[in-house]
Structure 1
Amino acid sequence: MRHEQVHTDPDPYAPYLLSQAIRAGGFLFVSGQAAVGDDGGIVGRGDFDAQAQQAFSNLERALQAGGSSLGRVVKVTVFLTSMAYVDKMVELRRKWFSAPYPAETMVEVSALYSPDAMIEIEAIALADDAASLRYA
């Protein structure tokens, strides 16, 4: 099975030798998207709402770069530094996804890649076989 690396521009993952996403077998596997801004820094330190907005925006950008979209997401895993944000996640699901909502696993973790990061979202989506990869 052939697989292709997906990039965004800027690509904050490149220095770490990670892929934003990989397209393979009609699916797009998106790496965890956090509240990373174009400058590579965390957006909204200490502000879950701002971080969630940025993480979902980054997820959408990676999906589009890989020839998919939020409407084609079939599975998400959400990593939170506190389950106190569960109610907000329901609101975010309603804002960013539509029925049928993707399958989801939500996990509380003691820390993410940065002590300032509060949320990270990874996804699996259906990819358009005819789409060419592009930089978003």
Structure 2
Amino acid sequence: MKLEQIHTIPDPYAPFLLSQAIRAGDLLYLSGQAGAGAGDDGGIVGDGDFDSQANQAFLNLERALRAGGSDLEHVIKVTIFLTSMSNYANVVKLRRKWFSPPYPADTIVEVSALYTPEAHIEIEAIAVVRETGQGASRMDSW
């Protein structure tokens, strides 16, 4: 099976030797999407503001899905990493905002830290590709 790398422009993952997503057949595997903004520095938005970071993480997830030929309606599994389970209720609200029934399978995990101390949430996903013939050549800019 051919693996296709999916990325957007700019690609914040390239310096770290990561793929933003990998397409394998009709499945799309997305690396964790955090609350990094569209600025040149890729810095975390909303210093200390979980809701701002979470909304940005979902926007980033949506953008990466589109680049890979999918969308939020075709997400079948998400794993959401939180630095504090005190934000669990907020995550439930966000799932209602960003997903629709049938809701994707989900695992929510508390971790002691993410890739930068400012990050409070990271979302990884698996989705079904809705378009055939789309892949690494699809890029979406911020």
Q: Which runs of no fewer than 5 residues in structure 1 stay unpaired?
A: none
- 1:106 alignment partner, one of 101, 108, 131: 108
Q: Quote the Cα distance in structure 2 between the aligned partners of 1:13 and 1:130.
A: 24
Range that drifts further, 44-53 or 126-135? 126-135
User: Superposition RMSD on alpha carbons, in Å?
Assistant: 0.9
The percent identity for this pair of structures is 67
TM-score, with structure 2 as normaliser:
0.93
Deviation at 1:45, TM superposition (A): 1.3
> Which position in structure 1 is the counterpart of 2:138?
134
Q: Which segments of structure 1 move beyond 4 Å, counting only runs of 4 or more?
A: none
> Which position in structure 2 is the counterpart of 1:68?
70
Letter in structure 1 aligned against 2:32: G
Structure 1 residues 23-70: Cα deviation after superposition (integer angstroms, max 9, x where no partner): 002100000000111221111110000000100000000000000000
Q: Quote the Cα distance in structure 1 between the aligned partners of 2:91 and 2:36.
A: 19
Matched, 1:34 2:34: yes
> Which position in structure 2 is the counterpart of 1:21?
21
Count, aligned residues: 136
TM-score, with structure 1 as normaliser:
0.97
- 2:51 alignment partner, one of 26, 49, 71: 49
Q: Which runs of no fewer than 5 residues in structure 2 stay unpaired?
A: none
**Secondary structure of the residue that 2:31 maps to in structure 1?**
strand
